[in-house]
Structure 1
Amino acid sequence: MKVWILHVAVLLALLVLLLVLPAYHATNLARIMVLAVFAIGYNLAFGYTGLLSLGHALFFAAGVYGAALPVTYLGFAQLPALIAGLVAGAVMAGLTGLLALRTAGVSFMIVTLMFAQAGYLSLLYFGEVTGGDEGLVLPGAAGLIPGLSADAARTTIAYGLFALALIASLLLVRGRFGRTMVAMRENEERSRMLGYNPFAVKLAALVLSGLFAGASGAAYALLFGYAGASFATIQYSILPMLWVLMGGAGTVLGPLIGTAAMFYLVDIAGSYTTATLLFVGVALVLLILFAPRGILGTIRERWLPWLP
């Protein structure tokens, strides 16, 4: 019961913040929540299943363009476009997993990176359609919810998407399949002896991870009005890994904490210097030295062992 009380309290706190914060900070919080959905998806693959991927930018970009292309060329409304992006991320993850999961460890990491780079180069090659590095400009959040301003619609949809993603991930990791994912992470061979198919479990976990990444990418494109090939670069494969590591891999709320911490670290550092990556590097070194399991992972290890 206390697990649900904690997570509902976090959702209520976010809702209050969205209502009381000025428009600029509310928009930043909306951006954090959308990107936290991406981190939640990465956490399912890495934190719970042990799949260290460097190809999640491909799934995020699939969501971005899965939503942006139908809106731009087929006249889709935003909700069907969001669903299209979500499906695109899951399908891309499934296709990637069918090949990449035949490897493991460092080889898996390299193969997923190769897929992501191939996706990025494809977006550049078909730049006349995708917009390449210049990207596509979309209508944005205006008119998404009749009667609400663009800012209000953006924060409402971002909050709804994050709430759904958080509850879904909590239900998943506390359920039977979630325990199976953890078993694969901890001891794949013993899981195989118990009758589980590691390839099938990992593929399902990767597809679920891609679904979350695709939903995040689609929402990001539709809410903030832009889709570009830069979303498929290696940066967007490394960022969710950093967010999860900072917040705590294998914790439900860790992705939100890590995304928010990294976002504001870069934002605050950017007001003092252009060398923001130096601050990020120092923060990660300190994290490794004093909280190697991440912020929430360390809290769970030392004080709150019941945290999921």
Structure 2
Amino acid sequence: MSARAKIIALHGGLLVLLFVLQFILPAYHHGNLARIMVLASYAVGYNILFGYTGLLSLGHALFFAAGMYGMGLGIQHLGLTVAPAMLAGVIAGAVVSGALALLALRTAGVAFMIVTLMFAQAGYLTVLYFGEYTRGDEGFVIQQAQRMLWGIDLSDPTNRYFAALMLFALCLIVSLWLVRHPFGKTLIAIRENEERVRMLGYNIYTHKLIAMVVSGTISATAGAAYGLLFGYAGASFASVQYSIFPLLWVLLGGAGTVLGPFIGTLFMFYLIDLSSGITTAYMLIAGVVLVLLTLFAPQGLAGELRNRIWRWLP
């Protein structure tokens, strides 16, 4: 079997498995997996910028929240229906990521990290400042009647699961296509040796700008979907915590691998979930496990699989 056929079989098999799990999982894990797929879509967006382009952002919560509030405020205050509200969230994420890219890409390395963190914090404080509309830390609930898409109730667990699966499938396919496209290969080359790519005549700034907009737009789409499917938008999703989460998910799963974001999100979600059932000091258990993974699987779970077994894994 060729490498291309193996890649299609592996990623297609994962989507088929997720489809089948909808019919056999108990309610608790069914809801968890829907949430994991949406968060994994967010991690896919982050992976495009960090894993494939090599830009370490600490401000992706800004894009996630832009999508969530672009969608949520459109429904709450403008009376938009689901489809235009989702579009508003996606556009908000694209605009915010483009604006930030124009500023942040003037810097590099640690300075880039600091600039993205600063703007993310500014976004968080903006959400709190305009609490009259955003409800600040308290957030606001999106009612069941407001979550109807073409007659489909997205608050229903089955419909929510399939919507999350469709979102994750789309993000996975986009990521897989991108990494095999010449543009994606150029991003990887920039990550590995930026000066050599510049000497070959490529416009580094333009490639990074597009990568950041694509990354931010995918992250915003995930944020809008999260708010819509789970019926809540709050300032906590704009905090630093939600900038650190995708970094952890991608590092655990394997930066620069297509499946890494999903594996890392799944692992981290259930690590915390199971640890919290054992002790109130569950973050201590999670921390020890994360340290061990960092020591013995530095490339992440999917990264180690690629290094040791599946060399063809994208």
Q: Could you say whether these structures have the same fold, taking a TM-score greater than 0.5 normalized by the shorter chain as the test? A: yes
> Secondary structure of the residue that 1:134 maps to in structure 2?
coil
- Does the CA-based 8 Å contact 1:85-1:214 persist in structure 2? yes
1:146 aligned to which of 151, 162, 166: 151
The yes-or-no answer on 1:269 pairing with 2:275 is yes
- SS of the residue corresponding to residue 216 of structure 1 reads helix
The yes-or-no answer on 1:212 pairing with 2:193 is: no
8 Å CA contact 2:82–2:147 kept in 1: the answer is: no
Paired amino acid for 1:255: P
For residues 33-83 of structure 1, give each alpha carbon's deviation from its aligned partner in whole angstroms, at most 9, with x where no partner exists.
000000000000000000000000000000110100000011111122112
1:44 is matched with 48
Distance 1:146 1:207 in 2: 32
Distance 1:178 1:138 in 2: 37
Please say if 1:202 is aligned against 2:208. yes
> What is the TM-score of this pair, normalised by structure 1?
0.97
The runs of at least 4 aligned residues of structure 1 exceeding 6 Å deviation read none
Cα displacement (A) at 1:145:
5.9
Residue 255 (structure 1) aligns with: 261
Give percent identity, aligned residues only: 62
Structure 2 stretches of 5 or more lacking a match? none
Contact in 2 for aligned 1:142/1:150 (Cα 8 Å): no
Deviations 1:139-169 (A, max 9, x none): 2585346366711111111011111110111
Read off the aligned partner of 2:297 and give its amino acid letter.
A
Q: Which moved more, 1:23-32 or 1:114-123?
A: 23-32
Query: Which residue in 2 is equivalent to 1:303?
Result: 309
Return the match for 1:11 from 12, 15, 32. 15
| Alignment partner of 2:188 out of 174, 177, 182 | 182
Residue in structure 1 matching 2:249, options 233, 243, 259: 243
Instruction: Note the residue ranges of structure 1 that are not aligned, 5 or more in a row.
Output: none
The superposition leaves residues 190-217 of structure 1 with CA deviations (integer Å, 9 ceiling, x where unpaired) of: 1111111111111110100001100000
Matched letter for residue 232 of structure 2: Y
Alpha-carbon separation, structure 2, partners of 1:210 and 1:147: 28
Q: In structure 2, how many angstroms separate the alpha carbons of the residues matched to 1:178 and 1:190?
A: 16
Distance 1:133 1:206 in 2: 28
Residue 70 (structure 1) aligned with residue 74 (structure 2): yes
1:53 match: secondary structure: coil
1:33 paired to 2:37: yes
Across the two proteins, how many residue pairs are aligned to each other? 308
Question: Shift of residue 274 of structure 1?
Answer: 2.1
Distance 1:77 1:298, change over 3 A: same
Q: Distance in 2 between matches of 1:118 and 1:147?
A: 36
Q: When the two structures are superposed, what TM-score results if normalisation uses the length of structure 2?
A: 0.95
The residue aligned with 2:95 is 91
Please give the per-residue CA displacement for 1:57-114, whole angstroms capped at 9, x wherever unaligned. 0000001101000000111111221121112112111111111111111110011000
Residues 1:122 and 1:186: Cα distance change in structure 2 (over 3 Å): same
User: What is the alpha-carbon distance in structure 2 between the residues aligned to residue 285 and residue 154 of structure 1?
Assistant: 34
* Post-superposition offset of 1:23: 2.3
> Partner residue of 2:296?
290
Task: Name the CA distance, whole Å, in 1 between partners of 2:265 and 2:42.
Answer: 10
